Structure 1
Amino acid sequence: MKLKHLIAIALILITTGVKAQNIVGEVEFRYKIFYDKIYSSLPHLTQQERDRILLTWGNPDGYSTRMKLQFSPEKSIYTYGEPYEVRSYSWQIEDYFIENNLKDQTYLKFMDQMGKTYLVRDRLNPPKWRVMNEIRDILGHMCMKAVSEDPIKGQKITAWFAADIPVPTGPEELFGLPGLILAYDINDGMLIVEAEKIAFGEPKEPITLPKKMKGREVTGSEYQDLVKKFIQTSIDSKQAWMWEIRY
């Protein structure tokens, strides 16, 4: 990491203070997706299909729901928030849980994707991040910018992490930065996830995984192979894949 990045982090820690005693808490996120932008960017779709989607799903405000992340130094768990605000297809209210065990460096994903329910277990393998020399205020926390890529989905990821909340996790499948991720976007705003509220201390209603988790059990690499194959099949069929896979 360059010296200027280290200086920036030091300044953040000095001005905000490391809340070591408060690194247990809950974050409420707004998950907002813009289908018209996504569809316009897919070269394999026919113009007729693009026009249909723009007519049906064109919305300058996007489509949103709430998500919730509970975190501690040992683990984090992420799922839908309440109340549900579903303005999209019904997949948004299906099973979707991500639990990162930061102590053991393992994860569990329980999700409905590609027409099936999957139970994915594996070792944590963080994205390859590049920390940039930019900062931004989110809910009173000075956050640093980091960028990465998802080669399977063809996505550019921009995340903002709070160095004063030293828990290396975040929303969705993002983690591995030296601070809690409070916001990120994909492909310059096609998907925007941003914290709307942070509460420190033990959550009043801890998120619990379903008692019975039935689904196809796969490893992380096996699941990625399934995603890659599904996306390629969708491209070959001139169809969009994000209705069946979380964008």
Structure 2
Amino acid sequence: MKSKILKTIVLILISTGLRAQNIVGEVEYRYKIFYDKIYSSLPHLTPQERDRIQLSWGNPEGYSTRMKLQFWPEKSLYTFGAPYEVRSYSWQVEDYFIENNLEEQTYLKYMDQMGKTYIVRDSLNAPKWRVMNEIRDILGHMCMKAVSEDTLKGQKITAWFASDIPVPVGPEEQFGLPGLILAYDINDGMLIVEAEKITFGEPGEIITLPKKLKGREVSGTEYQDLVKDFIQTSIESKQAWMWEIRY
């Protein structure tokens, strides 16, 4: 009995030590969007508009961008990856940055959306996740499945998080799970974001923003209201809102 208890304590100590070592690092993601799937799902578009989009933007391999996440126990930083590569959103991605402050439970988003640059600051409010009984290996990390929903954009979100990397952050606006989110998709593959590389240890070049941010400052609630109005206006005019809002 004593031997079993000792082995258990040793395993816990080893696990805790590994978790502490892996708490700082950087993840490179591939952000891939499939316009043909998105447009075929929009009921307010005319058949002619759907056909035009399929002809112009149909691509079975999708359109991709590299993204980068840096994480510490107290915060995370997220922006475009290097080398800088944009194959979608080419007219609206000059600025896209997210900082989550886990100690103060606040966030900062600096981004070009809806034809303007916005500075959004507010308290962190994690999505309502449901952890499922499914696992998947991503880059050697056993990840668990979790699902959520974005009612504003009408999106079903499926995420995969690594509990052996105990930081509650992830790519884009996904966070709040008991482990680093290494992959997620929206609406069964209309958008796929997946880690391609993880490097543990202090990043060589920390993501930074200009000291003076230029743009319209709004709260999280104000920004959500702007997005809601923009989507509704786009639907009424039979246009696709994701050209101006990050999907």
> Shorter-chain TM-score: which interval?
over 0.9
Aligned counterparts of 2:199 and 2:89: Cα–Cα separation in 1:
30
Question: Can you give the 5+ residue segments of structure 1 that lack an aligned partner in the other structure?
Answer: 1-12
Q: Residues 166 and 178 of structure 2 are in contact (CA less than 8 Å); yes or no, is this contact kept in structure 1? A: yes
What is aligned with 2:244? 244
What is aligned with 2:225? 225
TM-superposed CA distance for 1:92, in Å, is 5.4
What is aligned with 1:196? 196
Q: Secondary structure at the match of 2:227?
A: helix
Aligned counterparts of 1:192 and 1:73: Cα–Cα separation in 2:
26
Aligned counterparts of 1:52 and 1:21: Cα–Cα separation in 2:
51
Matched, 1:175 2:175: yes
Q: Cα 1:182–1:175, aligned 2, differ >3 Å: closer, same or farther?
A: same
What is aligned with 2:48? 48
TM-superposed CA distance for 1:180, in Å, is 0.4
Cα shift readout 1:53-111 (whole Å, capped 9, x = no counterpart): 00000000000010000000000000000112222242453100000000110000000
Give the % identical residues. 86
Cα shift readout 1:194-222 (whole Å, capped 9, x = no counterpart): 00000000000110112221111110011
Aligned counterparts of 1:92 and 1:55: Cα–Cα separation in 2:
22
Normalised to the residue count of structure 1, the TM-score between the two structures is 0.92
TM-superposed CA distance for 1:144, in Å, is 0.3
Taking the TM superposition and a 5 Å limit, the aligned residue runs for 1:105-184 are 105-184=105-184
Q: Secondary structure at the match of 1:246?
A: coil
Q: Secondary structure at the match of 1:184?
A: strand
Aligned counterparts of 1:97 and 1:245: Cα–Cα separation in 2:
14
Q: Secondary structure at the match of 1:235?
A: helix
Taking the TM superposition and a 5 Å limit, the aligned residue runs for 1:92-103 are 93-103=93-103
Q: How many residues align?
A: 234
Which consecutive segments of 4 or more residues in structure 1 shift more than 4 A?
Answer: none
Aligned counterparts of 1:166 and 1:223: Cα–Cα separation in 2:
30
Aligned counterparts of 1:112 and 1:28: Cα–Cα separation in 2:
21
Taking the TM superposition and a 5 Å limit, the aligned residue runs for 1:199-214 are 199-214=199-214
Q: Secondary structure at the match of 2:107?
A: strand
Matched, 1:82 2:82: yes
Aligned counterparts of 2:164 and 2:89: Cα–Cα separation in 1:
37
Letter in 1 for 2:215: G
Cα shift readout 1:18-56 (whole Å, capped 9, x = no counterpart): 522221000000000000000000000000000000000
Aligned counterparts of 1:111 and 1:230: Cα–Cα separation in 2:
16
Aligned counterparts of 1:93 and 1:223: Cα–Cα separation in 2:
18
Q: Residues 91 and 112 of structure 1 are in contact (CA less than 8 Å); yes or no, is this contact kept in structure 2? A: no
Aligned counterparts of 1:91 and 1:108: Cα–Cα separation in 2:
22
What is aligned with 1:27? 27
Aligned counterparts of 1:67 and 1:92: Cα–Cα separation in 2:
15
Aligned counterparts of 1:167 and 1:88: Cα–Cα separation in 2:
29
Rg larger in 1 or in 2?
2
Matched, 1:73 2:70: no
Normalised to the residue count of structure 2, the TM-score between the two structures is 0.92
What is aligned with 1:6? none
What is aligned with 2:3? none
Q: Secondary structure at the match of 2:159?
A: strand
What is aligned with 2:8? none
RMSD in angstroms over aligned alpha carbons? 1.4
Aligned counterparts of 1:212 and 1:49: Cα–Cα separation in 2:
41
